[in-house]
Amino acid sequence: MHWLCESATLSEAQSRGFEVAGANIFLVRREGQVYAYRNRCPHRGIALEWAPDAFLDASASLIQCAHHGALFLIESGDCVAGPCEGQALESLECREDTRGIWLLS
């Protein structure tokens, strides 16, 4: 289990990237729930963000690949638009408690 951050550092409709044991991951908070994904687009195998911690589209309602515009559902990682439609981001298990947010894998 790896501690990532205090809960207060991931506000509603925000995303944040991390490196854990050599792997790049990111978190997104939506409707109070935290979701964790490997920072790797299924289309080209490259990182998703266009700037540090910038994984969401302009509406903050979808995860967006900065390189080719693919859009992914925050709750499942499923691609709903773009060249990797029908594929999904790799979901990771995380947990939030009074000390903060933890990556379980």
Q: What is the CATH number of the domain that holds 83?
A: 2.102.10.10
Write down the pLDDT at residue 50: 85
Task: Considering only residues 105 and 82, tell me which one the structure prediction assigns the higher pLDDT.
Answer: 82
8-state DSSP, 90:
-
What pLDDT shows up at residue 45?
A: 87
Domain count, the chain: 1
Contact 66, 48 (CB under 8 A): yes
Alpha carbon distance, N-terminus to C-terminus of the chain: 6
Task: Give the length of the chain.
Answer: 105
CA 65, CA 47: separation in Å to the nearest integer? 8
Average pLDDT over residues 60-72: 94
Once rounded to an integer, what is the mean pLDDT over residues 76-103? 96
**73: pLDDT confidence band, cut at 50, 70 and 90?**
very high
- For 47, the domain range is 2-103
